[in-house]
Each structure stands twice: as structure tokens, then as C-alpha cells.
């Protein structure tokens, strides 16, 4: 009985040749199409409903099952991904941070992407961050610049030390208020673009999400504010989860198959308990592995990145 599922994670999927920000590390649409052809040859596409039923009712999955997931509600998912999947009869699962699509604000995660993409020389961004930390140190009782750099700067399989420092500091290390403030200042300084306009260009809108849902795509939770859930108090996590679920209901999603993908792959024991309380059936992490339903817990399903699989143009 097959219990293995290759869950593939995508973020930006765009026509990179014509992109205003070529440094944004997206998957080119042609490579995406090529990857789908590769998957169609060697795998069997399944739906979120099939995966949840396999967990709950022990229904057998096809051999070499693959599930496609798309994070962060980028407009790419409507313009580029949805038409291709729809025409091929493949379901995609789209994890939507609620605030980005309902309030037309830029999530810090994306502000940081575009701040980084705006400067080749990352030390210029760090210099500006240090100036801002100096400016706000007293008011927000911040640590020294050196303290943050020594604590946070380590390279990963995707990013240099400098980039990891910038991301970690602005995603999770600083308190929410000062983090948001510094992200906004850096966005204004380096990207120099109106946030509301930018956000409407970057994210899906509610009508697009409803349309995708009505046409067989799965819409899952990805938090309200796209915060590291494990860094929040239990009460704050509950608000994030409750608002996410209400959003899915509001766009016509079927909460019998409620799913979540953890922003930054981050969660803790409180998260898992709350998701059980709210009847979530499945949760996706960023742990890199082929999922095995006989081994992985339903709320801790690992995924492969698109870059871990072959891509052909």
C-alpha cells in the first residue's frame, strides 16, 4: 500500500525575462511547464482531498503520488500557474496569508525580498539597518548591532551570511512593532514604491482566489500576518489560525479539508494543539523529504522545493 507522496513547494512562478525585479528568485514559467511534463511522465498528480482521505480513511494513493503546493498568494499563481493547471486537470494547493489579500499591505517577508533585490551590495542594506537600530535603540531597548550580527549571521543552503542576518533580524528577532517599522523604512528607502500599489501588483485578490477555488483548486491557510507561529504566544497563534480558517470559509473553501502551511516552516506544540482544536486535517512544513503517511504525522508533512526536482525548458 503506497503511503508516499512527493509534495512540491513553489513560490514565485513568473516570466523572468520580463520581470521588473530579475533578482527575485522565481521559477520561470517555461521551466515550470517543463517540470510539469517531467512530473506527468514519472508521477501521478493527486488532490488535497485524496491526501486527507488517505490519512483519515486509509484510502490507498496511486504510486509515485505528487501534490503541488504554492505559498504566499502571489498574483503569479493566477496569471501563470492556474491556467496551466486548469487546462491539464491538475489541482494546485494555494496557501494564502490573509492580510496581504484583504488589506493590500505588503507582508514583511516580501518587503524583505524586494529590499534585498534592490541592492547588489547587501552591506549597504546592513549599513542602513545599523543606522535605524542606532536611531531606535533607546526607545525600543534594543541590543547592540554587533550582538544581533553575531547571533543571527550564519549561511544556509540558499543564503549568504549577510542575507540570513537581514532576514532573521527582520522576520523574527526584533519585536513586532520595531520590526515592522524598520521594514517599512527600508522599503521606502531602497524600493521607493508605494506599498499599496505594490501589494495590489504582487498578491492575488479575493475574486481571483474565489475563482480558483470554484474551479477545483485547493485554498489553504498560511496565517494572517505571515509570522513565525512558533514565536507567538498561544493566544496570538489562535487568532492567526481562527482568522485563516474564517477566510477559507469566506472564499468558499471546504473546511472539511482544512489545511495549513506554516509560514517559514515554523511552528511549535501550541500550534499543533490549536490546529487539532480547529479541526485542521493536514499541515505542511519546509522539512525537505518525500512525505510518508505511515511515518510523518498529518500536521507535519515535509515537502521538496521545486529546485530539488528536475526542470526543463
Q: How far is the CB of 234 from Zn ion (least distance, A)?
A: 21
Of the two residues 10 and 32, which places its CB atom closer to Zn ion in the complex? 10
Q: How far apart are CA 240 and CA 172, in angstroms?
A: 16
Considering only the stretches 112-120, 185-193, 199-207, 262-270, report the one whose residues sit in contact with Zn ion under the rule CB under 5 A. 262-270
Q: Pick from 26, 220, 253, 263: which binds Zn ion (CB under 5 A)?
A: 263
SS3 124: helix
Rg, the chain, Cα only: 20
Of the two residues 142 and 209, which places its CB atom closer to Zn ion in the complex? 209
In terms of Cα–Cα distance, which of 71, 92, 89, 86 is closest to 26?
71
Question: Any idea of the CA torsion for 220, 224, 228, 229, to the nearest 10 degrees?
Answer: -80
Q: What is the 3-state secondary structure (H, E, C) of 81-116?
A: HHHHHHHHCCCEEEEECHHHHHHCCCCHHHHHHHHH
Q: How far is the CB of 311 from Zn ion (least distance, A)?
A: 21
Of the two residues 50 and 266, which places its CB atom closer to Zn ion in the complex? 266
Q: What is the 3-state secondary structure (H, E, C) of 222-241?
A: CCCCCCCHHHCCHHHHHHHH
Contact 46, 64 (CB under 8 A): no
Please tell me whether residue 302 binds Zn ion under the rule CB under 5 A: no
Considering only the stretches 62-70, 136-144, 167-175, 260-268, report the one whose residues sit in contact with Zn ion under the rule CB under 5 A. 260-268
Q: How far is the CB of 37 from Zn ion (least distance, A)?
A: 27
SS3 5: strand
Of the two residues 26 and 148, which places its CB atom closer to Zn ion in the complex? 26
Q: How many CB atoms lie within 10 A of CB 110?
A: 23
Of the two residues 263 and 298, which places its CB atom closer to Zn ion in the complex? 263
Q: How far is the CB of 248 from Zn ion (least distance, A)?
A: 16
Of the two residues 263 and 283, which places its CB atom closer to Zn ion in the complex? 263
Counting residues that bind Zn ion (by CB under 5 A) gives 3
Q: How far is the CB of 81 from Zn ion (least distance, A)?
A: 15
Q: How many CB atoms lie within 10 A of CB 13?
A: 23
In terms of Cα–Cα distance, which of 309, 313, 249, 257 is closest to 283?
257
Q: Mark residues 34-73: x for contact with Zn ion by CB under 5 A, - for none.
A: -------------------------------------xx-
Of the two residues 220 and 298, which places its CB atom closer to Zn ion in the complex? 220
Q: How far apart are CA 195 and CA 235, in angstroms?
A: 29
Task: For cell 493547471, name the residue.
Answer: 85
Positions in 264-293 near Zn ion (CB under 5 A):
none
Positions in 66-95 near Zn ion (CB under 5 A):
71-72
Of the two residues 9 and 293, which places its CB atom closer to Zn ion in the complex? 9
Q: Which residues bind Zn ion (CB under 5 A)?
A: 71-72, 263
Amino acid at each position: 500500500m503506497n503511503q508516499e507522496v512527493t509534495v512540491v513547494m513553489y513560490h514565485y512562478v513568473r516570466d523572468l525575462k520580463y520581470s521588473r525585479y530579475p533578482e527575485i528568485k522565481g521559477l520561470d514559467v517555461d521551466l515550470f511547464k517543463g517540470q510539469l511534463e517531467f512530473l506527468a511522465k514519472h508521477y501521478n498528480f493527486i488532490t488535497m482531498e485524496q491526501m486527507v482521505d488517505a490519512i483519515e480513511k486509509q484510502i490507498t494513493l496511486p504510486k509515485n503520488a505528487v501534490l503541488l503546493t504554492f505559498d504566499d498568494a502571489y498574483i503569479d499563481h493566477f496569471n501563470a500557474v492556474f491556467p496551466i493547471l486548469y487546462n491539464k486537470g491538475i489541482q494546485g494547493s494555494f496557501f494564502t496569508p490573509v492580510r496581504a489579500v484583504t488589506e493590500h499591505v505588503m507582508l514583511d517577508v516580501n518587503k524583505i525580498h524586494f529590499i534585498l533585490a534592490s541592492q547588489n551590495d547587501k552591506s549597504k542594506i546592513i549599513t542602513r539597518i545599523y543606522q535605524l537600530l542606532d536611531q531606535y535603540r533607546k526607545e525600543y531597548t534594543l541590543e547592540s548591532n554587533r550582538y544581533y550580527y553575531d547571533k543571527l549571521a550564519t549561511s544556509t543552503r540558499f543564503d549568504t551570511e549577510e542575507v540570513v542576518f537581514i532576514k532573521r533580524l527582520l522576520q523574527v528577532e526584533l519585536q513586532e512593532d520595531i520590526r515592522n517599522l524598520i521594514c517599512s523604512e527600508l522599503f521606502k528607502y531602497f524600493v521607493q514604491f508605494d506599498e499599496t500599489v505594490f501589494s495590489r501588483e504582487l498578491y492575488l485578490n479575493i475574486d481571483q482566489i474565489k475563482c480558483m477555488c470554484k474551479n477545483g483548486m485547493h485554498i489553504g491557510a498560511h496565517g494572517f500576518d505571515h509570522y513565525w507561529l512558533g514565536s507567538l504566544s498561544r493566544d496570538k497563534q489562535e487568532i492567526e489560525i481562527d482568522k485563516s480558517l474564517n477566510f477559507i470559509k469566506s472564499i468558499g473553501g471546504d473546511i472539511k479539508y482544512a489545511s495549513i502551511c506554516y509560514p517559514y516552516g515554523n511552528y511549535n506544540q501550541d500550534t499543533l494543539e490549536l490546529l487539532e482544536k480547529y479541526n485542521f486535517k493536514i499541515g505542511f512544513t519546509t522539512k525537505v523529504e518525500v512525505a510518508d503517511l505511515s511515518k510523518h504525522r498529518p500536521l507535519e508533512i515535509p515537502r521538496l522545493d521545486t529546485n530539488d526536482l528536475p526542470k526543463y525548458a
